[in-house]
Chain A
């Protein structure tokens, strides 16, 4: 009985985990370069979900969605969303974070918390004015399921999420590893002042980091909306926390760590959600699954703050 649902639980966990992984990349990239927790990153993801949904809703309203190939529609949505959320991320950095570089560490964090709340309400207002409603249903592009070895069924939309997440991660890895700008990013992450001596424009690198991180976050928002069908302005907060946990779990500042951490956390959370109830005689059920994720965050920070893949760093004295 418990075992028979296992394949399904794993598939759900995998879908969730890949979304955490891509969002976690945004946290980890910014942290790697600025040592700053971009608290608003979860909200960028949320904005992505709304932008994507609006693109689809508008396309549908003008009657263009019906005849469109769903893959083309998704591709178009992703591109538009990534451009817009990327620009949003860059704008936030420019206006709310850059003036605070060099300020005491808590100050930019406070600004980021502010941006996070501001975005939630701005989206809510915009939707309330435009649609008189801020819980939106996304036009879901993919229906149907695929059977895997006859033991689990994967909805096609879940499969799309997983495959696109993997594509995004590969693209990012190639970019960081092979291109001039990727190398510049790594150099700035290692040592900003030396990098600037090597004529690397640190400001541009930071801008690029926010551009890439935010567009990845926005893209994940689109995938999230496709996978779950409904969105609201508050989805970014919890998902952001989880993605941050994933980044910490994998070792903050480490890209591969964020990917592995995300998938791992998604799996663990899915397993906990499915089995905690039955195993504790329903005393502690799925309602504790957020507690479970937060507990992982706290345990990792306490016992292995460098995460699974990070290197222990000592504060400079």
Chain B
């Protein structure tokens, strides 16, 4: 029954989506600090995804909402922009992990290590920290260096990914989860202790002040600017995800996810293909790490714990492993849940407590529900929705286009032998 209803569902009419966007934009504009209307605007992107209209129009409206409407109605509110850029940071990371877990099927529980690599790369060299081990008093660098460091962070994390991947990816299946988890912890412990013998990471004290990005003399330290930086990076990562998904490499990733043995007998090198996935996913995390460091202005090893890796994994799996829209939805949902919903709920309970209605031990503060929520989500998704909220779907190919392709004029590959031998049967 439910399935039938779903099948006949053609999508949300365009006008509903447009009205939705308009209403919540106005609400947010006129009501001060309305969390609900802010969530309403953000969720209009989800609505848009299910709207019954062409992809071009969806893209245009989506861009309009993200680039114009949100900054216009929420741009003056630091908090909203902060939340929006946080959502963006996690969306970008989840999309990176999606390549590793979603496409290639490699359960990586140490993903945050690459995020840390990018963050530390920028933090160490943009502050005076690098003077500790490089002579010449060349540091700190100015915020102009943020931009080249996006590339540096990408490369550093990719190298990290390859160095870690070379040994780790030889390990089979579910062992990989444990080994990456171990490696993630190793890296955190190392960062935590590398203040001696040479002080590279400043250990548990962390590194500060990390300079904000600068462009043409403008300091871009506010959430408003970070929102746009993150948006730009997401656009890049989404584009990369889409292109990879239906490419030679993307097919190889999915092939090894589905069946390693069969993939090998198709001429796919397991190690190289997995390394490519690992390095690609890592490099995205590295870029985001640079942004994160600049946004926080302070980093220490506590930002890179196993919980972070698990959180990103939850986003990917909840949204739909291997599904780009799913992962975006999952990341946005989980981040909002953490930074906004649980916090709001927490504040609400506190207000009840202050008025003496309930007695709430500090330990039960919902903002500390993280493990519980993640745990329940993981079990729930595994049991009832193993493909996530928006399951991955393979693109159907336009067979007409294939038949009318100029390449269709002759037989290709092994079938080119048909035209040589005097074949009798062939339609």
Q: What is A's interface to B at a CB cutoff of 8 Å?
A: 36-37, 96, 99-100, 103-111, 113-122, 124-125, 127-129, 132-134, 237, 241, 244, 248, 281-284, 287-288, 290-291, 294-295, 297-298, 301-302, 305, 315, 317
Instruction: State the main secondary structure of chain A at its contact with B.
Output: helix
Of the listed stretches B136-144, B341-349, B364-372, B393-401, chain A binds: B364-372
**Residues B377 and A114 in contact, CB atoms below 8 Å apart:** yes
**Distance, CA A25 to CA B378, complexed state (A):** 26
Given contacts A109-B174, A110-B381, A129-B361, contact A118 B376 (CB under 8 A): yes
Of the listed stretches B122-130, B180-188, B240-248, name the one at the interface; the rest are far from the partner chain. B180-188
Q: A114-B379, A290-B186 are in contact. List 19 more A-B contacts (CB 8 A).
A: A37-B178, A100-B382, A107-B386, A111-B378, A111-B383, A113-B109, A113-B313, A114-B375, A115-B375, A118-B375, A120-B375, A121-B371, A128-B364, A241-B185, A283-B196, A291-B190, A294-B186, A297-B182, A298-B168
Considering the complex of A and B, which 6 residue pairs feature the smallest CB-CB distances, nearest first?
A: A114-B378, A118-B375, A128-B363, A117-B375, A294-B182, A111-B382
A-B CB contact pairs (8 Å), 10 listed: A107-B386, A109-B174, A111-B383, A113-B177, A117-B375, A119-B375, A132-B363, A288-B189, A294-B182, A317-B261
- A241 contacts which of B175, B182, B313, B382 (Cβ < 8 Å)? B182
Residue of A nearest to B198 (CB): A283
Complex Cα distance, B185 from A106, in Å, reads: 21
Contacts of A134 in B (CB 8 A): 363
Nearest-CB residue, chain A, relative to B187 = A291
A302, B171: Cα distance in complex, Å: 7
Chain B residues whose C-beta falls within 8 Å of the C-beta of A290 in the assembled complex: 185-186, 189
Instruction: Judge whether A109 and B107 touch: CB under 8 Å.
Output: yes
Closest to A115 in B: B379
Residues of chain A lying within 8 A (CB to CB) of residue B313: 113
Give Cα distance in the complex from A16 to B383, angstroms: 36
Partner-A contacts on B (CB < 8 A): 105, 107, 109, 167-168, 170-175, 177-179, 181-183, 185-186, 189-190, 192-193, 196-197, 261, 306, 310, 313, 317, 361-364, 369-372, 374-383, 386
A118 contacts B372, C-beta separation under 8 Å: yes
Residues A294 and B185 in contact in the complex (CB < 8 Å), given A37-B174, A100-B382, A124-B363: yes
Distance, CA A9 to CA B261, complexed state (A): 47
A129–B178 CB distance below 8 A:
no
Closest Cβ of chain B: how far from A103's Cβ, in Å? Answer: 6
Bound CA span A271–B39, Å = 54
CB contact between B193 and one of A120, A128, A237, A287 (< 8 Å): that residue: A287
Residue in A36, A96, A248, A317 whose beta carbon sits within 8 Å of that of B379 in the complex: A96
Nearest opposing residue in chain A for B190, CB measure: A291
CB B170 to nearest CB in A, in angstroms, measures 6
Within 8 Å by CB of A118, from B168, B183, B361, B371, lies B371
State the Cβ distance, B243 to closest chain A Cβ, in Å: 25
Min C-beta distance of B107 to chain A, whole Å: 5
